[in-house]
Structures are given as C-alpha cells and as structure tokens.
Chains A and B, each alone.
Chain A
Amino acid sequence: MFDIPLHSLYMMLFVVGLLIIASFARWSIKRKKPHADHTELKQRIQSWWWMIAILFGILVASDTVSIVFFALLSFLALKEFFSIMPTRQADRRILLWAYLAIPIQYYWVATEWYGMFLIFIPIYVFLFLPMRAVFVGETSGFIRSLGTIHWAVMLSVLCISHIAYLLQLPVKNEQAGGLGLVLFLIFITQFNDVCQYIWGKTLGKHKIIPKVSPKKTWEGFIGGVITVTIISGMLAPYLTPLTTGQGFIAGALIAISGFIGDVVISSVKRDLAIKDSGTLIPGHGGLLDRVDSLIYTAPLFFHFLYYTHY
C-alpha cells in the first residue's frame, strides 16, 4: 500500500515495540505500587503513543503532507514563544508578518530551493521585520522586541524547517530513503533525552548548571553522550548515508546539542518563572517543552550530513 523503504519500516516497528514495552512497564509498576500517583507517567506514555501515531502516520502519507505538518509544528512552536515572551501591543502587526514567514519558508522547502531556504530567515526576514516595526512607529522597547521576535523565528521556523528539508535531499541510502534521515534524527534526539534522564536519575551527583536546571548532572550528561554516541554509530549506516565513524560523530553532536537546546528553553522558562511553555501535550507540557532539544539538533545534524555527503 504505502511505499515505505524497508529499513525505515523496521525502525518504525522498533519504536512501536519500545512503546509497548514502556506501556507494560508502567502497568507492572502500577500493579506493584497501586496506591502511588502515576498520573503523570501515564499521561506521558499516552501522549507518546499519540505523538508517534501522528508522526508516523504523516511521514508515511507523503512528503508534501510531511512538509505541511512540519510547517504546522513551526507555527505552534512560534505561537508558544510569542505567547510566553514579553511583546508590546505595538508588535501585533510585526508578529503577523513573522507568522507569514512560515508558509514562505516551507514553500522554499517544498520547491527544493536550497539557497533561499538557508538565507530567507537570517537575511530577508531579519532585515524586513525591523523595517515594518519602524513604520509602526513605537520606539520604546524597540530593541528588546525585535531581538526576541527574530530569535523566536530563527528557533521555531528556520531550525525546525531543517527536519522537513531532510526529506528533500537526494536519497543516498536506498533502503532507508529520506524518511530514514528524519527517523534517525528524531529517534536519536529523543533517545538522548531519555538516556540523560536515566543516567542522571541513577548516578547523578554533580550538578552541571544548578541555576538553570537543578536536576541536570554531569553524570547524566556524560552517560547520555556515551550511550547515544555508541547507539548512533550502530544505527547510522542502517538509516542514513553516514558511515559508522560518522555516525559516532553525529551521535555525539546530537547528544551535546540536544542537551543545550533543552537548557536554553529551560532558561527562557526560568526567566519568565513558568514551569511549562503550554499545555498542548498532557504530561509533557507545551510543544516547546517537547521539541526544545530538536530545535538544536535538527540544523546541526542536517549540516553535518550535508557537509559529509552532499
């Protein structure tokens, strides 16, 4: 029915298998300790099922559907940013233009205009938004406003659109297809989140940046980087054109930058004294809380891959 490359199909089945194991694990924990409150864990795993079902369903549908989906993801992420960050009433018109950057950026992705895809936001949007703001005429708070708006657009539109462009690159690993690249990036990024959490929970002692994220430890970070680097080296040749050696580098890159993405968004939330950026995903918080690490890993993985193979 769907023309899914074999390696990508097995990868998706593997992820579904992991989720089934997680669901059974939760079920057995609940049987052992029936009185403790497991609501958050339950919500988290349920939300994972939803997210995986939606993501896989869209990825196997078609590339166009996937590009529209990632555009929607950018929209929701940008909206979450604008909602929690301080903006002036005078910025309303500028924010509308910033939203308009999303369909245009994804149009470059859909038409595979690589050069424009790269420079549209850092050059054209970057220069246009302040000009539009000048015409609005409110100069009080101008610098701060334009700085935060452009920063939000870079993170939630330019960075996330790199995931969609992975699907447009010429296929070099026939058995995995463009789909394999997206699955690899998303799986390794989320696997890194889980690994750092588990290593931190079991061995964590020395705090890494207590002011931003008191639960993050050196043990969690290093344990995560090592585990993810090894797994990535094993998985990369299966799903991507990368060799095992390059897979190790990609893994370390994703593990380190995923951690940074996580703590950058944590700093934003800490600055605003909020715990979550939204309530879109039950048990996880907002969309930004879920894609924080992906925002950093997507462009870095993309350009590493592009430099080594294209």
Chain B
Amino acid sequence: MNRILKILFFGLFIKPIVLLGLGLNVFFKFRLPQTGPAIIVANHNSHLDTMVLMSLYPLSQIHRVRPVAAADYFLANRYIAWFSLNVIGIIPITRSQITDKTVLFDKCYQALDNGDILLIFPEGSRGAPEQLSALKKGIYHLVKARPDVNVVPVMLHGLGRALPKGEAILVPFNCDVVIGESLPFIEDSPRYIASISDALNTLLALCLTRQAVVEDDE
C-alpha cells in the first residue's frame, strides 16, 4: 500500500516537476548505487534535494531509497509525519538528546541490512542557499559500524535557488547533480568528515550552474 502511494506520488507528481519545472544536468549517473546496502551523502539546500535524488531512481526501485531525516522537524505534526513516513519513507532520527549511538541509528542499520539505500545530508540542515555548511559527525558514527558499506557523495547545485529555505514558490532552474566515486571509510573522524567535504567540493567544479548564484548583501 505504501509502496503504491510512493510510486503514485513520484510518478505523477515529483518526476514531472523535476523533469519540466526543474530539469537536471546529471553527471556520472552510472556511479549511482543501483542496489543496497549503500549510503548517498549529499549537500543540503532545499527540500527538493531529497525529491531530486529519489527521482533519479526508476519507480520500481524508489521504495529502496530511504532519506534519513530529523524527527523533530518531520514528525512535528501528524499530517507531515504520516506523509513523511508513509509516502516518502523517511527514517526519522532524533537530533537532540543523543545518548546511545547504536540505539540512535538502529533503524538505519535495519534498513541497510534490508538492502536499502540511505540518503543522508551530513550538513544536518538546509542552511544558506548554495553554501556548504560544516558537516556533522553523525555520518562518521553511522558508517563506523558498517565500514564496508558503499558510500557515494553527490553534489547538488542550483536547488537552493529553485526552492530555498523559507520560500513556498518554486522558480524553474536547471540544477546540477554530480555523482562522485565511492568513498572508503577512514577510522579517524575529522579526516573522514574532511574526505567527504573534499569530495563534495571537487564535484562542485563540474556544476554548470556554479557561477550563477550571486550572494545578496546583508
């Protein structure tokens, strides 16, 4: 039932919007993990990020893609919570009161063991348009318990212009999706976080829209 909802939502609504309202410049699509368990780490500027990444997958595979999302935001009211859990299929995690990390990531490990593909935005929040904020360490703790899992960095650019934080109207822009090579795990947490950050910044150089964002003066 949820799978049908998901297919309908993406097939009738999200895919047409992404195709026509946005338009994607996808580079290295073949690097996208086709089967789980795998983790996609991407930068985060817009709610569209999740939709765009999921829409890269065929409808038959979309239920395999699970965005990891903040429980305090997406479970805040019961309608959004129902939609997030049943239609999008998010894995909610609690951002505050982090006590036991294995309990925290319990559902993530379940999904990985189930062969799912996790979507993680290590910046934590959408932040200022088209700027890479400091990456959070959560991704390190998550991957540490599954060091062999395929972790693929993806740079998204332009979506923060199409639908930035705090705006309700989508303005059509072509957006870049650059998929990087699988990243090996590094035991040292600052180095591991830096390797993800470096990978994302390297991919940025390929974005066609990289020059197109002008910072507003405060």
- Report the nearest B residue to A271, measured CB to CB: B211
Which residue of B26, B169, B211 is within 8 Å of A96 (Cβ)?
A: B169
Determine the interface band of chain A, counting residues with CB < 8 A from chain B. Answer: 20 to 34
Q: How far is the CA of A279 from the CA of B26 in the complex (A)?
A: 8
For residue A291, give the distance in angstroms from its CB to the closest CB of chain B: 15
Give bound CA distance, A274 to B214, whole Å: 17
Q: Do the beta carbons of B217 and A79 come within 8 Å of each other?
A: no
- The answer on a CB contact under 8 Å between A83 and B208 is yes
- With A and B bound together, what is the CA distance between A141 and B217 in angstroms? 9
Tell me if A79 and B214 are in contact (CB < 8 A).
Answer: no
Interface-centre pick from A84, A138, A141, A280 (highest chain B CB count, 10 A) = A84
Interface string of B19-52 (1 = CB under 8 A from A): 0000111110000000000000000000000000
> Given A79-B172, A92-B161, A86 and B213 touching (CB < 8 A)?
yes
- For window 62-87 of A, CB contacts with B under 8 Å fall at 75-76, 79-80, 82-87
For A278, the chain B residues whose CB sits under 8 A away are 23, 25, 174, 208
Contacts of A145 in B (CB 8 A): 214
Q: How far is the CB of A67 from chain B (nearest CB, A)?
A: 18
Residues on B with C-beta less than 8 A from A76 are 23
Contacts of A276 in B (CB 8 A): 208
Does A202 sit within 8 A of B, measured CB to CB?
no
Interface residues on chain B, size class: 20 to 34
CA distance A276 to B25 in the complex (A): 11
- With A141-B214, A279-B26 as given contacts, are A83 and B129 in contact (CB-CB < 8 Å)? no
Binding site for A on B (CB under 8 A): 23-27, 129, 158, 161, 164, 167, 169, 171-175, 208-209, 211-214, 216-217
A278 to B158, CA, bound (A): 13
**Most interface-central of B26, B129, B171 (chain A CB within 10 A):** B171
- Let me know if A99 is at the binding interface, CB within 8 A: yes
Question: Of A84, A90, A96, A138, which one neighbours B212 at CB under 8 angstroms?
Answer: A84
Contact with B along A255-293 (1 / 0, CB 8 A): 000000000000000001110111110000010000000
Rounded to whole angstroms, the CA-CA distance of A88 and B158 in the bound complex is 12
Complex Cα distance A295/B183, Å? Answer: 44
Instruction: Please state if A86 and B171 are interface contacts (CB–CB under 8 Å).
Output: no
